[in-house]
């Protein structure tokens, strides 16, 4: 997540206007819909003439748009909101078997969506497919390429910013931020950012109502990743490797030998712990769900290594909430209960676990959210131009 907010080198009172312009736009984003000038003035604690002047500038530039008055006591107020065609963004998630692309406007409304099954490794062929999907999304939404001002693409592996270098586990394929950017960038009118899928899942969970400002988000399936959200922001770490828990060395409850956490808690390996490898993970969970105590015990032993790793994180950050997304999130409450039980056993008491409400689209939701953030950054930077515009004074 890039946070430049270059704040432009406006001088003197022009800087004040710049600050206030950003304040107005940010407030408008918080509301989500058209607002009356008076209301906007109240929320920003600016005066009405000031807000009116700022809004007029933004309207002239085509970023804001008038909405017809609604009935009310007193003179009906003109309302202003984001212009329909102010800007759009795209989000994309491409895994080993499935690719999804969505286009959204800055209020996070989905304007178009494309989804495909495929079997390409992460690489140029897949990028070409994504480019095609992106073009179809543009057509579906009826947007010119230039209207899409930002996009975020999810990738597994460690994504280093700003270099764009991506460290993938062997076998997944091979790409990096530069190649992704040059493959998808030409289809739109802005920059493409790439971000780790677990971090994006965490970003998605930020938007769920009732979430605390700090939590841990587990992306758990065949691979294992985590996103750390601190004070409402996904924390990436100096090289983007925050949350890469998979590399932990832990004892395997099935064999007693040391192994990597990612492999030990791989979804498909959970039944091994119970000593019943013929049973699928779904089946194991279903039995536990049905009250079969041996299955529930096996499940608890299976998730224990991850709980042992997560417990110190919970205590160190005073976390109350851990979210779970990824393939294993299909398992439902039995898994949650087992995991919560083990967290408790390791000393992380009173931690709530909850499943992502977005199911398979969690990462995509995060990518779109990230892109919307980037779109707003673009809009703010664009608004700075209004301030700097010559001939604004009359």
Partner DNA sequence: GGGCTTAAGAAAGGACCTTGCATAATTCGC
Partner DNA sequence: GCGAATTATGCAAGGTCCTTTCTTAAGCCC
Closest CA to 243 of 353, 171, 325: 325
Three-state secondary-structure class, residue 68: coil
Three-state secondary-structure class, residue 328: helix
Smallest gap from residue 134 Cβ to DNA (A): 38
Residue 162 preceded by cis peptide, ω within 30: yes
Alpha carbon 162 to its chain centroid, in Å, reads 18
| Total site size for DNA, rule CB under 7 A | 31
Residue closer to a copy of itself, measured from CB, 287 or 342: 342
Closest CA to 113 of 85, 127, 93: 93
Residues that bind a copy of itself (CB under 8 A): 9, 11, 13, 15-16, 19, 45, 47, 212-214, 216, 226, 228, 230-231, 235-245, 247-250, 260-261, 309-313, 315-320, 345-348
Among 30, 74, 171, 238, binds DNA (CB under 7 A): 74
Smallest gap from residue 373 Cβ to a copy of itself (A): 18
Residue closer to a copy of itself, measured from CB, 348 or 354: 348
Buried b (16+ CB within 10 A) or exposed e, 144-174: eeebbbbbbbbbbbbbbbeebebebeeebbe
Residue closer to DNA, measured from CB, 36 or 362: 36
Residue 327: Cβ within 10 Å count? 15
Smallest gap from residue 2 Cβ to a copy of itself (A): 15
Closest CA to 158 of 226, 207, 210: 226
Cα distances (Å, whole numbers) of residue 85 to 104, 195, 239: 11, 26, 36
User: Which of DNA, a copy of itself, none lies near 99, with the C-beta cut-off 5 to 8 A by kind?
Assistant: none
Query: Per-residue x/- mask for DNA, residues 26 to 65, rule CB under 7 A?
Result: ----------xxxx------xxxxx-xxx-----------
Three-state secondary-structure class, residue 357: coil
Burial degree of 136 (CB within 10 A; 0-12, 13-18, 19+): middle
User: Which of a copy of itself, DNA, none lies near 38, with the C-beta cut-off 5 to 8 A by kind?
Assistant: DNA
Smallest gap from residue 107 Cβ to DNA (A): 21
Scan for tokens 């995991």, then name that residue.
339
Smallest gap from residue 300 Cβ to a copy of itself (A): 15
Smallest gap from residue 15 Cβ to DNA (A): 7
Stretch that binds DNA, among 69-77, 165-173, 257-265, 351-359 (CB under 7 A): 69-77
User: 184 and 131 in contact (C-beta within 8 Å)?
Assistant: yes
Smallest gap from residue 49 Cβ to a copy of itself (A): 11
Cα distance between residue 89 and residue 103, in whole Å: 6
User: Which of a copy of itself, DNA, none lies near 73, with the C-beta cut-off 5 to 8 A by kind?
Assistant: DNA
Residue closer to a copy of itself, measured from CB, 10 or 56: 10
Tokens matching residue 194: 């790439």
Residue closer to DNA, measured from CB, 55 or 218: 55
Stretch that binds DNA, among 73-81, 184-192, 234-242, 355-363 (CB under 7 A): 73-81
Residue closer to a copy of itself, measured from CB, 212 or 275: 212
Ramachandran assignment for 52, one of left (phi > 0), alpha (psi -120 to 50 degrees), beta (any other): alpha
Binding site for DNA (CB under 7 A): 11-14, 16-17, 20, 36-39, 46-50, 52-54, 69, 71-78, 387, 392-393
């Amino acid at each position: 997540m890039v946070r430049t907010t270059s704040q432009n080198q406006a001088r003197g009172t022009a800087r004040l206007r710049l600050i206030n312009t950003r304040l107005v736009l940010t407030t408008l984003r918080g509301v989500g819909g058209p607002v009356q000038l008076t209301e906007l003035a109240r929320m920003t604690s600016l005066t009405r003439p000031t807000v009116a002047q700022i809004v007029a500038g933004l309207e002239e530039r085509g970023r804001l748009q008038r909405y017809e008055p609604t009935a009310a006591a007193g003179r009906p107020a003109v309302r202003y909101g984001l212009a329909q065609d102010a800007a759009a963004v795209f989000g994309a998630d491409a895994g080993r078997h499935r690719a999804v692309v969505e286009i959204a406007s800055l209020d996070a409304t989905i304007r178009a969506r494309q989804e495909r099954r495929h079997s390409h490794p992460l690489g140029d062929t897949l990028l070409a497919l994504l480019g095609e999907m992106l073009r179809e999304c543009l057509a579906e939404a009826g947007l010119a390429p230039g209207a899409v001002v930002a996009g975020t693409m999810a990738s597994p592996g460690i994504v280093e910013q700003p270099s764009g270098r991506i460290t993938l586990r062997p076998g997944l394929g091979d790409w990096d931020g530069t190649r992704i950017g040059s493959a998808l960038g030409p289809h739109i009118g802005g920059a493409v950012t790439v971000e780790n899928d677990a971090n994006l899942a965490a970003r998605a969970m930020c938007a769920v109502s009732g979430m605390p400002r700090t939590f841990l988000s587990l992306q758990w399936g065949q691979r294992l990743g985590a996103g750390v959200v601190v004070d409402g922001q996904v924390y990436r770490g100096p090289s983007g490797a925050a949350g890469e828990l998979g590399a932990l060395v832990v004892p395997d409850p099935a064999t007693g030998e040391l192994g990597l956490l990612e492999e030990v808690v791989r979804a498909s390996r959970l039944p091994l712990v119970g000593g019943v490898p013929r049973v699928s993970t779904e089946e194991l969970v279903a039995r536990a769900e049905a009250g079969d105590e041996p299955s529930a015990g096996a499940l608890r032993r299976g998730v224990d290594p991850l709980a042992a790793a997560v417990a110190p994180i919970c205590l160190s950050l005073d976390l109350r909430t851990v979210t779970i997304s990824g393939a294993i999130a299909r398992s439902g409450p039995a898994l949650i209960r087992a995991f919560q039980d083990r967290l408790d056993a390791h000393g992380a008491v009173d931690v709530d676990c909850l499943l992502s409400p977005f199911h398979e689209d969690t990462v995509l939701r995060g990518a779109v959210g990230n892109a919307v953030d980037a779109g707003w950054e673009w809009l703010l930077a664009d608004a700075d131009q209004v301030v700097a515009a010559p001939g604004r004074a009359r």
